[in-house]
Structure 1
Amino acid sequence: MIFDLSKSFLVKLEKLLKQHHLWSQQPPSEVAMASTAPFACDSMNFEEWLQFIFIPKMTLLIEHKQPLPVNMAIAPMAKHVWLSIPERNDLIVLLTQFDQLLAQNHRVNV
């Protein structure tokens, strides 16, 4: 159940990123991808991190039925980056819901 819901969130996230023209055809450089900073904020935009790091890693976890993170707190970063851009509020709402889903799933399974 949690894996299906999580996959659904990832599909919605990709769709919204594309609708907002935030989906890139060009991946970041290998150096950018190797960043160890939170959200790779020193080497790429937040939307690039979502596309090239977050979505692929979460997809792998889901496909392999591995434990999902419980305290992602991605929504606060989305708010920080996009709060002044009202038309991106739907992205913030979706990421808030995803954070809540994973946190709630953890509480249910503890």
Structure 2
Amino acid sequence: MKTQVKQHLTDLEIALRVHNLWEATPPSAEALANDEPFCVSTLSATQWLQWIFLPRMHALLEANAELPRNFAISPYLEEALKDLDYLQALNAPLVKLETLLKSE
């Protein structure tokens, strides 16, 4: 399962890069420290994926820690990116992760 999770995370990063959404400069420490869900008032959805979600998931994998279960990021993306042509490209790997990490 760890290999599949890594692949879906890689696919998400590739989608961000292909659509020129990957940023070279991180947001401010204050923006990253926002305690609202998805840092909604300080980060865009794609920034949250790049600077919060991907690093945390990679850190959990590297530490052989328990991965989150039963999470739902795709509904947020569907709303936040609803009018953008790259929604499906970003959402597809997330839906695969959500499905893979559902508790049985």
TM-score of the pair, normalised by structure 2: 0.94
Describe the superposition over 1:15-52 as per-residue Cα deviations: whole angstroms up to 9, x where unpaired: 00000111001100010011100001111111111101
Q: Is the 1:17–1:23 Cα contact (8 Å) retained in structure 2?
A: yes
Provide the rounded CA distance (Å) in 2 between the counterparts of 1:86 and 1:32: 26
Provide the rounded CA distance (Å) in 2 between the counterparts of 1:17 and 1:89: 11
Structure with higher RCO (Cα < 8 A, 6+ apart): 2
Q: Counterpart of 1:64?
A: 63
Provide the rounded CA distance (Å) in 2 between the counterparts of 1:92 and 1:60: 21
Q: Counterpart of 2:17?
A: 18
CA RMSD of aligned residues (A): 1.1
Describe the superposition over 1:62-88 as per-residue Cα deviations: whole angstroms up to 9, x where unpaired: 111111111220111111112222333
Q: Counterpart of 2:35?
A: 36
Identity of aligned residues (%): 33
Q: How many residues are treated as equivalent by the alignment?
A: 104
SS of structure 2 residue aligned to 1:86? coil
Q: Structure 1: which 4+ aligned runs deviate by more than 3 Å?
A: none
Q: Is the 1:20–1:88 Cα contact (8 Å) retained in structure 2?
A: no
Q: Counterpart of 1:86?
A: 85
Q: Which runs of 5+ in 2 are unaligned?
A: none
SS of structure 1 residue aligned to 2:52? helix
Q: Is the 1:16–1:91 Cα contact (8 Å) retained in structure 2?
A: yes
SS of structure 2 residue aligned to 1:52? helix
TM-score of the pair, normalised by structure 1: 0.89
